[in-house]
Amino acid sequence: MKFIYSSIISSFLESKSNKQNVRLLLRFILTLGGMVTAYSVVFHFLMAAEGREYSWITGFYWTLVVMTTLGFGDVTFTGDIGKAFSILVLLSGVVFLLVLFPFTFIKFFLAPWMAAESRRRTPVELPEETGDHVIITSYDAITMALIEKLKMNNQDYVVIAEGLDQAVELYNRDIRVALGHIDDPDTYRKMRLDRAALIGNQRVRSLILMFR
């Protein structure tokens, strides 16, 4: 049996909801970029009204410094209109960059990405070509010894874990694991029971002896 996993990105983008989340995140970033550009343009007009000239890079620099609340203070307005505009940019930066952006990033990208990565690590179904493998329905001291023997003899296997936390923990221990319920017949269909060499733990002790 060969465990063939796609890349994290392809796994993440398999879901239509994840694709939609990415589009929403990109739309938010584009909106934020448009806001920064608009503020930079207004910055030039207000500075010109005060009789000062700055480059476009300086305009973007000032906008980002104010929106991120860094406030270096090297480029500032002297008039009340410019100061009022600075307050507007500051408040919108707090809302969009310090509140909405982290929330949007976590909800629409980070959380779905982590969920997709967990599913990638703990599949619920083995590849169709899987065969001549050992299906293990629990993980304990006996099956630990069995797994070591199976690895030494290049025998394919899979451990069925009923909980995601347990499945991820086993994956992190370099154990081949799949997510499913041991009392559900559909789980064994997905584990390719019809082509398995052994199932369950009934013959685990004898199998260990056989591999010695």
Containing 66, the helix (H) or strand (E) segment is: helix 56-67
Q: Does residue 100 share a domain with residue 45?
A: yes
Q: Does residue 141 share a domain with residue 115?
A: no
Predicted pLDDT at 123: 83
Q: Does residue 105 share a domain with residue 17?
A: yes
CATH code of the domain covering residue 107: 1.10.287.70
CB–CB of 126/158 below 8 Å?
yes
Bigger pLDDT: 181 or 88?
88
Can you give the pTM of this predicted structure? 0.57
In a domain, 37, yes or no: yes
Q: Does residue 207 share a domain with residue 116?
A: no
Residue 185 has pLDDT above 80, yes or no: yes
Confidence band for 48, pLDDT divided at 50, 70 and 90: very high
Distance CA 42, CA 28 (A): 21
Domain C-terminal end among 91, 121, 151: 121
Confidence band for 205, pLDDT divided at 50, 70 and 90: very low
Q: Does residue 97 share a domain with residue 151?
A: no
* Domain that includes residue 172, residue range: 134-211
CB–CB of 122/179 below 8 Å?
yes
The most confident of the ranges 151-155, 166-170, 195-199 is 151-155
CATH code of the domain covering residue 143: 3.40.50.720
Q: Does residue 106 share a domain with residue 29?
A: yes
In a domain, 127, yes or no: no
Q: Does residue 38 share a domain with residue 69?
A: yes
Phi, psi (deg, nearest 5) at residue 13: -85, 5
